[in-house]
Amino acid sequence: MRRHMRDLRRCNRGTSVIETAIIVPVLALLFGGGVDASLGFAQKYRDQQAADRAVQFAMDAGLSTATQTAVQAEATASSGLPTSDISVNFWLECNGVVQPSFSGTCATGLPARYLSVTVTDSYTPAFSRLLFSQSIPLQGFAEGRVQ
């Protein structure tokens, strides 16, 4: 019996199978997590691009064409999200002080008109059931001066 145990201790025929059985699930989990993180970052990038594109549209269109509805429609078309997930904010600053009306005038100094676009989204990881995580909030934000 001792001789048989000694022979078993020296035998290494099944070690590669055991090592593979340990390593493959770990590699699969790492690969799946990497793919999931990449998909989340790609969605965040698309949201940011939609916000940037809407601000660029407003800057190119000018004050007469770039209404809140038009900018929101541009962000909706770029992102594929509903308009309820897109917020557009216009404001006027006179000498660095925010004024109550975007279409108002400045008593002194030059008017500075700005707009910001926020695209709100969420990402649900593909392995959310396995990792017990919920959806991750994402947001794309851009602002620019239109005058």
127: Cα separation from own chain's centroid: 18
The rounded distance, in Å, linking the Cα atoms of 55 and 88 is 9
Please report the pLDDT score of residue 16 as a whole number: 80
In a domain, 3, yes or no: no
pLDDT value at residue 89 = 87
Please give the tally of structural domains in the chain.
1
| Residue-wise pLDDT tens digits, 54-63 | 888 888 877 7
Question: pLDDT tens track of the chain, all 147 residues?
Answer: 677 666 666 767 777 888 888 899 889 888 888 888 898 899 999 999 999 998 888 888 777 777 888 888 888 888 888 888 898 888 888 877 777 777 777 777 778 888 889 999 988 887 766 666 688 889 999 988 887
Confirm whether pTM is higher than 0.85: no
What residues make up the domain containing 72? 15-145
Q: Is 10 inside any structural domain?
A: no
In a domain, 9, yes or no: no
Q: Which amino acid is at 132?
A: F
Domain-embedded: residue 1? no
pLDDT at 45: 93
Q: Is residue 112 part of a domain?
A: yes
**Which amino acid type is present at position 30?**
L
The verdict on residue 109 lying in a domain is: yes
pLDDT of 72 reads 85
**Residue 47 CA to chain centroid, in angstroms?**
5
In a domain, 6, yes or no: no
